């Protein structure tokens, strides 16, 4: 008599059930991991951009402005920011100013909101690396509140920044 090699129906069904259970357990963790990495990338991009603007102000001995927008300063911090040498320190990208960097934030996970002391919609660093009395906080609030994704970047008058994990927006 020949011995038949293969799997029985019970073995196949139990294997598929086990694989299904493992996938059901693993997918939420994977989604959380991807979301947390995207938020962390956004946080580090913002930190790097603010530090870059400050260092450029010191190195080039002029005022540097960082603001949201494509080619001009706008109100929405959600998509792109620009960094430019602001020779007349007015917070507006003029023909005389020099654009240093455009940064795509790729943020569709939540809202970014800048709240400053003088209610300006931009950050500005002097040639000494200080802010132009524009200390404030850049808040990120994720679409899903209470998940621990929210953060705030606090900018001091001295130009120093720190990150504060928001408990909830």
- The CATH number assigned to the domain holding 107 equals 3.55.40.10
Answer yes or no: is 4 within a domain.
Answer: no
Tokens of 4: 């038949």
Answer yes or no: is 48 within a domain.
Answer: yes
Q: How many domains does the chain have?
A: 1
Answer yes or no: is 1 within a domain.
Answer: no
Rounded to 5°, angle at Cα 54 from 49 and 58: 145
* 59-65: average pLDDT: 96
Which band of pLDDT confidence, cut at 50, 70 and 90, is reported for residue 1? low
pTM of the model: 0.83
Cα separations (Å) of 140 from 113, 115, 124, 126, 167?
Answer: 7, 11, 20, 25, 11
Answer yes or no: is 24 within a domain.
Answer: yes
Range of the domain at 14: 9-165
Answer yes or no: is 2 within a domain.
Answer: no
Answer yes or no: is 3 within a domain.
Answer: no
Q: Measured between alpha carbons, how far is 122 from 77 in angstroms, rounded to an integer?
A: 10
pLDDT (tens digit per residue) in 15-39: 989 988 888 887 888 888 888 999 9
């Amino acid at each position: 008599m020949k011995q038949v090699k293969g799997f029985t129906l019970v073995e196949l069904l139990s294997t598929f059930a086990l694989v299904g259970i493992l996938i059901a357990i693993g997918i939420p963790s994977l989604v959380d991991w991807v979301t947390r990495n995207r938020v962390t990338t956004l946080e580090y991009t913002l930190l790097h951009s603010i530090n870059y603007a400050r260092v450029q102000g010191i190195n080039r001995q002029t005022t540097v402005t960082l603001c949201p927008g494509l080619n001009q300063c706008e109100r929405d911090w959600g998509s792109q920011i620009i960094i430019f040498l602001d020779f007349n320190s007015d917070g507006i990208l003029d023909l005389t100013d020099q654009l240093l960097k455009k940064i795509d934030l790729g943020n569709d996970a939540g809202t970014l909101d800048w709240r400053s002391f003088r209610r300006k919609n931009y950050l500005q660093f002097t040639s000494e690396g200080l802010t132009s009395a524009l200390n404030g906080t850049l808040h990120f609030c994720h679409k899903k509140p209470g998940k621990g994704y929210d953060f705030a970047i606090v900018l001091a008058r001295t130009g120093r920044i720190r990150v504060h994990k928001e408990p909830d927006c």
